[in-house]
Structure 1
């Protein structure tokens, strides 16, 4: 039913629904992203969440807070979606670094793997006034952690996010998932143990606003735009890793990374253009090849250089980050 076909009572109810629920849309979007590892999917799942919420709004009756009610719907929408497909991964989840013959990396056949996607920082709700909560929220979106979350069973993933990131109580989490408090506590223990095996130690990465992080990003961008392998050597750490979807191989060590890029990727000055941005609370850039959208690159910036480069070769992500599909001949655009 369109708004023009609604009765005045139903229109008033929709207005009230919008007022009560819209302020949670951005945090629900981030929640769905943590659950499924895809910005595109998260958009669709939030849309489904609000559709289901509107359909059941008349019977809601305030038995729980609006926020908890929406999270219950969103979490269960995500769990249903996760039943239909496998987890999203990065190339480094498929095996060890490439140590075979020197050749261009091999693309994975379309549909064979579901790839993790980056999240635009502009989608994230404004920072909380509590610095400790802001740190938890930011670190919970780091690319490496989101990748690790995808290896947890879906319900354990939901328990961990609800309890550790969103600070829901065990009782609230049990209500969201339709289970018992004991099951939540047990699931959280198992999720913590598994994540400890998978996730890197937090706290090493520089914030995107840090001058040192921006200098590293600017150096990486300049190296590509000038096709200068020497500049890449100065930006990357000796133990840097490089991976890119949809390629199966990934590379460890600055020497191997720079050789691969110099031999098969950099081309000539002007082939590549990049626009600085942020993703997953990290320095990032929208990537263009010969002025056409190519993908998004995300850097792990540390005090000693870039320790990890992940490039997502997916032109649709560039638009998702709010950038044009094609760049003009010359631009100083910065995001």
Structure 2
């Protein structure tokens, strides 16, 4: 088969394979690398593909096993809240750990369905990291992708009873870690909370920012192990970084099926914030700092002087 013919058969599955690998690995960059490796392996092995399964199932077999190999070589990817208790004081010195393999956000695809977006929520991706890699693969293949148990057993070289047992254990772990449902990011309440958050920062309105948060809101900044829980610590910390009017510029994007903003400070790319909206206010703020995070969403490292902030 010529390269063009192979691409025509295999390329339609690239986006969904990338999403699957992201769920497995918790990192957008790593997922793209694994998918690239998957296509290279598939191209090299195309002559041995005998059509006993669909091309889609065959690609998932290669990709999932590549993910399992990658996961065997490193520790899980956490968020700060997965590493210890929150700080008691808003002025607590941040403990940065840039060498830790942190969880990364994934930019939304406009073509994603509601179900696909919900399966990418940041809290769920973090919870998946608690599962042993093979359990994680079983759960994703069965629950998210809805592959039959027999197909999963074939993909992972397991027996059907072993697949069912792994799925049961994975469900039990996730049920214990499952958080409350979030508002649909397209809902009026979620949009209003996103707008209020952006406007509060751009206008240096601490009152509005405090009103946007729930009493039990959490605040996390990657790559710091230090995080905060509750308004008593979140609000003073935010006040310490709020700065002056116009210092911050924010642009709404979508990430992990949640409202998000690309953030600039004094015109320099600062990071990406993911928000967790609920009917009673923002339950969580996670900031992923760094120009590399901004670049993943297609924004430049330096903001053009004429670019207005949508929050204004």
The TM-score bracket by the shorter chain reads: over 0.9
Tell me the matched-pair count. 311
- Where does residue 108 of structure 1 map in the other structure? 96
Mapped partners of 1:283, 1:153: distance in 2: 29
Please, what TM-score do these two structures have when normalized by structure 2? Answer: 0.96
The partner residue of 1:255 within 221, 224, 232 is 232
Tell me if structure 1 keeps the 8 A contact 2:97–2:225. Answer: no
The partner residue of 1:266 within 242, 255, 259 is 242
Please report how far the alpha carbon of residue 26 of structure 1 lies from its aligned counterpart in structure 2 after TM superposition.
0.4
Mapped partners of 1:308, 1:80: distance in 2: 33
Unaligned runs of 5+ in 1: 1-11, 128-133
Q: Deviations over 1:9-42 (max 9, x none)?
A: xxx5222211111100000000000000001111
Mapped partners of 1:71, 1:252: distance in 2: 39
Please report how far the alpha carbon of residue 271 of structure 1 lies from its aligned counterpart in structure 2 after TM superposition.
1.7
The range that moved more, 229-238 or 27-36, is: 229-238
- Where does residue 15 of structure 1 map in the other structure? 4
Please, what TM-score do these two structures have when normalized by structure 1? Answer: 0.89
Tell me if structure 2 keeps the 8 A contact 1:104–1:260. Answer: no
1:306–1:315 distance in 2 versus 1, CA, 3 Å: same
- Where does residue 190 of structure 1 map in the other structure? 169
- Where does residue 215 of structure 2 map in the other structure? 238
What secondary structure sits across from 1:121 in the alignment?
A: coil
Mapped partners of 1:278, 1:331: distance in 2: 20
Mapped partners of 1:126, 1:310: distance in 2: 22
Please report how far the alpha carbon of residue 246 of structure 1 lies from its aligned counterpart in structure 2 after TM superposition.
1.1
CA RMSD of aligned residues (A): 1.6
- Where does residue 292 of structure 2 map in the other structure? 316
**Residues 1:85 and 2:74 are matched in the alignment:** yes
Mapped partners of 1:311, 1:191: distance in 2: 28
Mapped partners of 1:107, 1:21: distance in 2: 44
